[in-house]
C-alpha cells in the first residue's frame, strides 16, 4: 500500500503541471457567437454566467456516479474527501437508525450537514437523536449531479449548515425511452446486487411548450455474513492475540454448591445441555472455561453488509405559460427495505436485570441483590442430568434468533411557478415531504414473561419449559417471551418559498446582482416505539420515542457586487424565526479577486445558528448494550480480564434544557486555471462551534469518572461498571481547521489517440480541537480515533470514440486507536504486546470502469471496485462487534464486479 506523502506529492506535481499545459492542451476552436445562459449555482440564488464563486464547491456529475459503480447515494457520498467522523452507515451495529445513512462534513455530525434536493429541504429520518436526511432514500438513477458546498454555514439555505451543504440536483428534462440493467457480485461469491431502471419522457419545452418524464427503478443487494470473511471466520480471536469471543453462555450445565455465587466455578461443569432442537458439538480448547462446552459463536449471526432492496419512482414536468412563465413540478417515491441478523444475549448479560429474580432463596451463595449469571434447573426438570439437586445453566436466549428489518417510505412533492416579472426572475414553490419508517425487531426477551412464566416463584426454570428447544414449548408462550415489536417513525417537512433575483445598477465591474427570498417551513416528527420497548418491558432494549413540531419563518437577502472588473463582493444575510427557539440573524460575506486571468483568490466569512432538532428536544432515553474498557479494573489489556471487554447498559437521549449551537467559519483559497482544460483549487477552512449538543465519549467519561461520578453506575458488590449515562446536552466546543484541494487536467493525445483526464480531491484535517465538557480544555483529536487527517480520491481517465476507461483511487489516512493523546493504548501493554493495534492503518483501494458505446443506442460497461481485493484495516476495538473493521470509512465486501447495459429505444 503506498504511503500518503508520495501520493500527495505526486498529485501536487500533477496538478502544478497545469502551468505548462498550454504546451499539451489543445484548445477547441472558437465557437460561433451565441447567447450565454445565466444559471443558478449552489450557494447562491443569483443567476450568473460564471460557475466559480467565493465559496468552494465540489461537483459530482451523473457520469462520475456511473463510473464509481456506486449502488446508492450513500456509496457515492462515502468517498467525498471532506466527509469525516459522525456519519451514519447502514453497515454498522444495529440501533435506532438501522437502515439509514447520513453524511457528516468536516466531522461535525449529520445534524450539522444540510442535505438538500434541488435546493430545498426534505423530511429527515424518523428515528435517532440526530435529525438527518437518509441518503439511502434518494434514487441514484434520478440524479443529475451532486454539489458539495464546503465553506460552512449558509445564509441562503439555512444557518444550521455549520459543516456544509450537500445539494442533490435531480434530472429536469428528458425525451425518449431508455432502459438499463446491471448485476454485480463480489469475488467471494456473495453480496450480489441487481438493478433495473426505465426512463420515459416526451416533449421539448422550446417547441412543444412542455416536457414530462418519469424514472422507475429497482435496486437490491444481498447480505455478507461475518463468517464468510477470513478475519471473522469464527469468534476465536486468540489468533490475533486477543480474546476468544466464543462464549460458554450457550447450552452448558454446572453443579451448584452453597458457594457457587453469581458466576459458578468452571470446576463445577458437568456437560452440555440435552434435549435441544439442534444438538451442539462440544469444543476442543486449551482454555479450561471453553473445553468440552457447547459454545456460542456470534459471528454466525452477524452481517458485515446488510441486505437491502429499494424501489423508486421519480417524475418531473414543466409547462410553458403565457408571458414567459413556466409551471413546474416533480414527485419522488422511494421505498427501502433493509434486513440483518444480530447476536443474542446470554444469561450473563441478562444478569444485570435479574437482581433478586434468580436464586431468590440464596441457596447458592448469592446475597440479595446479587447479579446471578445463570439459570437454575430444579431437581426433576427433564434437562437436569442429576437425579437430585439443582444445576445451573449458562444459557443463550436465542430460542428465537435476533433480527432487525426496516421498511422506509419517502415521499416528496413539489409544485411551483417561475418566470420574469418587472425585470425580476421570480420563483414560488410548495414542497411537501414525508418520511415513514417501520422497524421490526424479533428476538428480545420480555422480562415479565421470563420471570413469571418461565421461572417459578423461587426463581428456577419451571419443569414445563424446555431450554434450547422452542418447538417443545407452548407456541403462545414463546410468542410472548420473544415478541415481535414494531417501532414506527414519521417525519414531515412542508415548505412554501418565494424568491426573486435581478440585476440593478451598474458598478465599475458590472451590474449589481441581488436576490431576496422568504420561506415558511413546518416540521414535525413522531417517533413511536413499540409499547413493550417504551414501557420498559424489554430491559435489554428500551426506547421512549419523540413527538414534536415547529414552525420556521425566514427571510434572506443576497447581493453580488462587482466592485471592479476583477473584484467581486458578495453579501448575504438571513433571519429565522423558530416557534420554539426565537429569532436569529446570520450573515455571510464573500470576496473574489481575479488577480490574473489564470489566478483567482477567494475567501468567505459566515456565522451559523443551529436550534436543537426535534428529536434532540423531545427524544426520551434509549438503552442498549455497548462495549467499554474499564480503565480502573483494566489498566492494560488482558484477554482473561472481563473488564477489558465488558458490555454495559448505555443510556442515551437528551437531558436538561438545550440551547442553540452557534458557529463562525472562515475560508480562504485560490483557483489556478492556466488553460480552459486545467484547474487547481486550494481552500483553507476554519470552523468554530460553541454550545455543541452532544454526548460525552465513553473513553473520556471513564477516564474522568471522578468528575462525573453520577454518570457511571457500578455494582455495589462487584465494583464492575453496570451502566453509563451518555445523555446529550450543550457540553462541547469544537474548532476544525483544514485544507481542501481539487484539481483537473485534460489534454488530447497526438495522432487522434484519445483524451486523457486527471482529476482529484484531497482533504487535510489539520486540527480537530474539542472540549468534551463545559470549561474543559480544547484537545486536538485530529489523527486519533475515527479522525483521519487525510482523505483523497483521484482518478485517471482515457476516452476515444466509443471507448471510455477510468481508474480511480480512494485513500483514507491512518489514525490512532485512542480518542486523544491523554488516553493510553492498552494493546501495547497487554500480555502479548501488540503496539501495531494502536493505529488503524491507512487504506487505499482502486476502482476501474470501462464502457463501450459503439453499438447503436446501446452502452455496455464493466466496473470493478477494490481491484486488489484489499481487506479493510484491522480495528481491534471492533472485534467486540465481531466485525474487525470500522464501517465509517472501510468495508469488507472485497473486490466487486458489476456489469451494466443501457439501451435507448428512441
Q: What is the pLDDT of residue 94?
A: 56
Q: What is the pLDDT of residue 153?
A: 65
Q: What is the pLDDT of residue 26?
A: 39
Question: Are the beta carbons of 32 and 569 closer than 8 angstroms?
Answer: no
Q: What is the pLDDT of residue 42?
A: 66
Confidence band (pLDDT; 50, 70, 90) for 373? confident
pLDDT over 90 for what percent of the chain?
52
Q: How far is CA 411 from the centre of its chain?
A: 21
Confidence band (pLDDT; 50, 70, 90) for 280? confident
Q: What is the pLDDT of residue 14?
A: 36
Average pLDDT, the chain: 86
Positive/negative CA dihedral, 830, 835, 840, 844: negative
Q: What is the pLDDT of residue 97?
A: 67
Residues 312-321 pLDDT 10s = 999 999 999 9
Confidence band (pLDDT; 50, 70, 90) for 2? very low
Q: What is the pLDDT of residue 12?
A: 40
What is the model's pTM? 0.86
For every residue of 581-604, DSSP letters joined together read TEEEEEEEEEEEEEEETTEEEEEE
Mean pLDDT of 251-276: 88
Residue ranges of the chain assigned to CATH 2.40.170.20: 4-24+53-228+305-343+405-446+482-619+654-694+728-904
What lies within 8 Å, CB to CB, of 586 at 6+ separation is 153, 155, 159, 573, 574, 576, 606, 607, 608, 609
Question: Are the beta carbons of 57 and 169 closer than 8 angstroms?
Answer: no
Q: What is the pLDDT of residue 20?
A: 36
Which set of grid coordinates corresponds to residue 290? 471453553
Confidence band (pLDDT; 50, 70, 90) for 716? confident
Q: Which of 650, 662, 473, 646 is nearest to 581 (CA)?
A: 662
User: Does the structure show a pLDDT above 60 at 640?
Assistant: yes
Question: Are the beta carbons of 721 and 644 closer than 8 angstroms?
Answer: no
Q: Which of 494, 734, 616, 570 is nearest to 155 (CA)?
A: 570
Q: What is the pLDDT of residue 16?
A: 37
Q: What is the pLDDT of residue 13?
A: 35
CATH of domain 4-24+53-228+305-343+405-446+482-619+654-694+728-904: 2.40.170.20
User: Whole-angstrom Cα distance, residue 336 to residue 439?
Assistant: 12
Confidence band (pLDDT; 50, 70, 90) for 535? confident
Residues 799-815 pLDDT 10s = 999 999 999 999 999 99
User: Does the structure show a pLDDT above 80 at 48?
Assistant: no
Residues 580-631 pLDDT 10s = 888 899 999 999 999 999 999 999 999 999 888 888 888 777 777 777 888 8
Confidence band (pLDDT; 50, 70, 90) for 354? low
Residues 847-862 pLDDT 10s = 999 999 999 999 999 9
Residues 774-790 pLDDT 10s = 777 888 999 999 899 99
Q: Which helix (H) or strand (E) holds 149?
A: strand 143-149
Q: Which of 887, 866, 864 is nearest to 184 (CA)?
A: 864
Confidence band (pLDDT; 50, 70, 90) for 420? very high
Mean pLDDT of 459-476: 94
Residues 283-313 pLDDT 10s = 988 888 889 999 999 888 888 888 899 999 9
Q: How far is CA 358 from CA 255, 518, 718, in A?
A: 16, 63, 17
Q: What is the pLDDT of residue 92?
A: 54
Q: What is the pLDDT of residue 89?
A: 67
Amino acid at each position: 500500500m503506498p504511503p500518503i506523502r508520495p501520493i500527495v506529492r505526486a498529485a501536487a506535481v500533477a496538478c502544478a503541471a497545469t502551468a505548462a499545459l498550454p504546451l499539451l492542451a489543445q484548445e477547441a476552436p472558437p465557437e460561433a457567437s451565441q447567447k450565454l445562459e445565466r444559471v443558478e449555482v449552489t450557494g447562491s440564488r443569483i443567476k450568473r454566467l460564471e460557475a466559480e464563486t467565493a465559496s468552494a464547491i465540489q461537483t459530482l456529475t451523473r457520469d462520475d456516479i456511473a463510473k464509481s459503480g456506486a449502488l446508492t447515494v450513500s456509496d457515492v457520498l462515502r468517498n467525498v474527501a471532506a466527509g469525516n467522523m459522525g456519519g451514519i452507515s447502514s453497515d454498522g451495529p444495529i440501533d435506532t437508525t438501522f437502515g439509514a445513512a447520513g453524511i457528516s462534513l468536516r466531522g461535525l455530525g449529520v445534524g450539522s450537514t444540510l442535505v438538500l434536493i434541488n435546493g430545498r429541504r426534505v423530511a429527515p429520518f424518523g428515528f435517532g437523536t440526530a435529525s438527518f436526511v437518509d441518503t439511502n432514500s434518494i434514487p441514484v438513477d434520478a440524479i443529475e449531479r451532486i454539489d458539495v458546498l464546503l465553506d460552512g454555514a449558509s445564509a441562503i439555505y439555512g444557518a444550521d449548515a455549520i459543516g456544509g451543504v450537500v445539494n442533490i440536483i435531480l434530472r429536469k428534462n428528458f425525451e425518449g425511452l431508455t432502459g438499463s440493467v446491471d448485476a454485480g457480485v463480489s469475488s467471494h461469491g456473495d453480496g450480489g446486487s441487481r438493478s433495473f431502471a426505465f426512463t420515459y419522457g416526451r416533449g421539448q419545452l422550446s417547441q412543444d411548450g412542455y416536457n414530462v418524464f418519469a424514472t422507475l427503478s429497482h435496486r437490491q443487494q444481498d447480505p455478507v455474513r461475518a463468517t464468510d470473511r477470513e478475519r471473522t471466520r469464527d469468534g476465536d480471536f486468540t489468533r490475533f492475540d486477543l480474546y476468544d469471543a466464543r462464549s460458554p453462555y450457550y447450552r452448558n450445565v454446572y453443579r451448584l454448591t452453597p458457594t457457587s455465587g453469581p458466576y459458578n466455578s468452571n470446576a463445577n461443569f458437568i456437560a452440555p445441555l440435552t434435549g435441544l432442537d439442534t444438538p451442539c458439538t462440544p469444543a476442543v480448547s486449551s482454555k479450561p472455561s471453553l473445553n468440552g462446552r457447547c459454545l456460542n459463536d456470534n459471528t454466525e449471526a452477524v452481517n458485515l453488509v446488510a441486505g437491502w432492496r429499494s424501489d423508486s419512482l421519480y417524475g418531473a414536468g414543466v409547462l410553458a405559460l403565457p408571458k414567459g412563465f413556466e409551471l413546474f413540478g416533480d414527485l419522488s417515491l422511494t421505498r427501502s427495505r433493509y434486513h440483518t441478523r444480530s447476536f443474542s444475549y446470554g444469561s450473563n448479560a441478562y444478569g444485570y436485570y435479574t437482581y433478586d429474580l434468580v436464586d431468590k432463596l440464596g441457596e447458592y451463595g448469592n446475597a440479595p441483590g446479587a447479579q446471578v449469571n445463570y439459570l437454575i434447573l430444579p431437581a426433576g426438570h427433564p434437562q437436569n442430568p442429576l437425579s437430585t439437586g439443582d444445576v445451573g445453566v449458562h444459557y443463550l436466549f436465542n430460542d428465537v434468533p435476533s433480527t432487525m428489518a426496516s421498511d422506509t417510505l419517502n415521499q416528496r412533492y413539489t409544485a411551483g411557478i417561475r418566470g420574469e416579472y418587472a425585470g425580476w426572475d421570480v420563483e414560488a414553490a410548495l414542497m411537501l415531504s414525508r418520511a415513514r419508517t417501520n422497524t421490526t425487531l424479533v428476538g428480545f426477551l420480555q422480562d415479565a414473561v421470563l420471570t413469571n412464566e418461565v421461572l417459578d416463584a423461587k426463581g428456577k426454570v419451571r419443569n414445563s419449559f424446555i431450554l434450547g428447544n422452542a418447538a417443545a414449548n407452548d407456541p403462545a408462550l414463546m410468542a410472548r417471551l420473544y415478541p415481535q415489536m414494531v417501532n414506527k417513525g414519521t417525519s414531515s417537512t412542508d415548505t412554501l418559498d418565494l424568491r426573486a433575483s435581478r440585476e440593478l445598477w451598474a458598478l465599475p465591474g458590472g451590474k449589481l446582482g441581488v436576490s431576496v427570498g422568504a420561506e415558511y417551513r413546518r416540521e414535525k416528527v413522531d417517533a413511536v416505539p413499540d409499547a413493550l420497548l417504551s414501557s420498559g418491558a424489554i430491559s435489554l432494549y428500551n426506547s421512549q420515542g419523540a413527538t414534536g413540531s415547529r414552525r420556521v419563518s425566514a427571510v434572506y437577502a443576497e447581493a453580488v457586487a462587482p466592485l471592479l472588473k476583477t473584484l467581486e463582493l458578495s453579501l448575504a444575510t438571513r433571519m429565522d424565526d423558530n416557534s420554539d427557539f426565537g429569532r436569529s440573524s446570520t450573515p455571510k460575506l464573500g470576496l473574489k479577486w481575479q488577480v490574473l486571468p489564470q489566478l483567482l483568490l477567494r475567501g468567505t466569512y459566515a456565522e451559523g445558528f443551529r436550534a436543537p432538532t426535534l428529536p434532540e428536544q423531545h427524544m426520551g432515553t434509549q438503552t442498549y448494550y455497548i462495549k467499554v474498557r474499564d480503565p480502573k479494573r483494566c489498566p492494560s489489556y488482558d484477554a482473561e480480564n472481563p473488564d477489558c471487554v465488558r458490555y454495559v447498559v448505555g443510556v442515551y437521549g437528551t437531558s436538561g434544557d438545550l440551547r442553540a449551537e452557534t458557529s463562525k467559519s472562515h475560508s480562504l483559497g485560490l483557483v489556478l486555471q492556466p488553460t480552459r482544460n486545467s484547474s487547481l483549487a486550494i481552500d483553507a477552512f476554519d470552523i468554530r462551534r460553541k454550545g455543541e449538543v452532544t454526548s460525552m465519549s465513553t473513553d473520556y467519561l471513564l477516564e474522568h469518572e471522578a468528575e462525573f461520578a453520577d454518570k457511571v453506575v457500578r455494582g455495589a458488590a462487584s465494583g464492575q461498571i453496570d451502566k453509563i449515562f451518555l445523555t446529550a446536552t450543550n457540553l462541547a466546543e469544537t474548532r476544525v481547521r483544514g485544507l481542501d484541494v481539487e484539481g483537473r487536467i485534460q489534454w488530447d493525445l497526438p495522432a487522434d489517440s484519445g483524451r486523457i483526464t486527471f482529476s482529484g480531491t484531497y482533504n487535510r484535517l489539520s486540527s480537530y480541537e474539542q472540549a468534551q465538557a463545559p470549561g474543559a480544555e480544547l484537545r486536538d483529536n485530529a489523527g486519533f480515533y475515527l479522525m483521519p487527517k487525510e482523505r483523497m480520491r483521484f482518478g485517471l481517465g482515457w476516452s476515444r470514440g466509443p471507448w471510455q476507461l477510468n481508474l480511480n483511487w480512494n485513500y483514507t489516512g491512518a489514525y490512532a486507536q485512542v480518542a486523544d493523546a491523554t488516553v493510553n493504548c492498552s494493546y501495547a501493554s497487554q500480555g502479548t504486546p501488540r503496539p501495531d493495534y494502536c493505529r488503524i492503518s491507512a487504506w487505499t483501494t482502486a476502482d476501474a470502469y470501462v464502457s463501450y458505446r459503439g453499438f447503436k443506442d446501446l452502452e455496455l460497461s464493466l466496473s470493478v471496485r477494490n481491484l486488489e481485493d484489499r481487506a479493510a484495516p484491522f480495528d481491534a476495538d471492533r472485534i467486540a462487534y465481531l466485525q474487525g473493521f470500522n464501517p465509517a470509512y472501510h468495508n469488507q465486501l472485497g473486490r466487486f464486479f458489476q456489469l451494466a447495459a443501457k439501451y435507448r429505444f428512441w
